Amino acid sequence: MKFLYVTLLVLVFQYGFAQQIADPDFNYIIDTPLFEKGQGMTVAIDEGHNNFHTLEGRYAAFAKLLAKDGFQMTSLKGKVSAAKLRDIDVLVISNPIHESNLGHWVLPNPSAYSKKEINAINNWVRKGGRLFLIADHMPFGGAAENLGKSFGFTFTNGFARWPKRNGFDTFSVSAKTIDHHEVTEEINQVMTFTGQAFQIPSSAKGLLRFPKGSFSLEPDTAWRFNEDTYRRDIENWYQGAVLEYGKGRVAVFGEAAMFTTQLAGPQKVKVGMNTLGAEQNAELLRNVMRWLSNR
């Protein structure tokens, strides 16, 4: 067990807290875009809740890929309201954080969204809106917990760990960790990078499922583990799922780096859609957006 903690800590400092820059060489080619250029749905990436991933920041590659598929990309500033949601088709929320946890990743991790904002998002989806909710490891799982709960998802505010893996975790059809759905059609393998695990409501469809032996480490301070750190069994919990909710749709993922293209640390290690073994991550992202668009 001590070896596991040491390995995880090394991984963190090398890839997590080290400098991250976008990979300038990543270029995903789309032969047949989902929409004509600039004619697709309006997609807004939330930037009003201290989000770790933003339109021109860590989710620039995410936005660029969606733009190639014809989506109209923008950002949502400030508090979420019904009036703001009326102007968009898809709301992307990736790794929000409560202001009390800025530079201070310790418990408690309050909700990044007020009850009023959660009600506005929930009602908007029920009436036909599309939500793409991505909430990573602590403290992001805690910050998005109440929002996820409003749709029936139960988040863990921890660090999902595979058995005998180093944080570059591969879900695959061959290992029976990718469940069949139109979102995962023709997807044989995707890679994620730690993140959190969550439980899904009975009406949702799971996509990426944790295998036997997987567990969640849930410390009181992010990335600090010891023999007393709470450990939870997460076999058959999920890191990706979709839900039809009223007239709308929700896609939920428990890991954000899988949809980025980062070069991490002084060695510029590839983390994201540009990683060896993650060649189909971009295709999965396109499939999620196709499903959200009901195309």
The β-bridge relationship of strands 159-161 and 205-209 is: unpaired
Residue 236: CB atoms within 10 A of its CB come to 14
Return the percentage of the chain with pLDDT > 70, whole number.
94
CA 47 to chain centroid, in Å, comes to 15
Query: Which pLDDT belongs to residue 10?
Result: 43
Dump pLDDT digits (tens) for 166-188: 789 999 999 999 999 999 999 99
Closest-CA residue to 213 (of 164, 176, 154, 158): 164
Mean pLDDT of the chain: 92
pTM given for the model = 0.94
Dump pLDDT digits (tens) for 48-80: 999 999 988 889 999 999 999 999 999 999 999
Alpha-helix residue ranges (DSSP H) falling in the chain? 2-11, 60-68, 82-85, 115-126, 140-149, 281-293
Dump pLDDT digits (tens) for 225-237: 999 999 999 999 9
Statement: residue 6 has pLDDT above 50: no
Tell me the backbone φ, ψ of residue 233, rounded to 5 degrees. Answer: -75, 130
CA separation for the pair 137, 45 (Å, rounded): 19
Query: Which pLDDT belongs to residue 57?
Result: 87
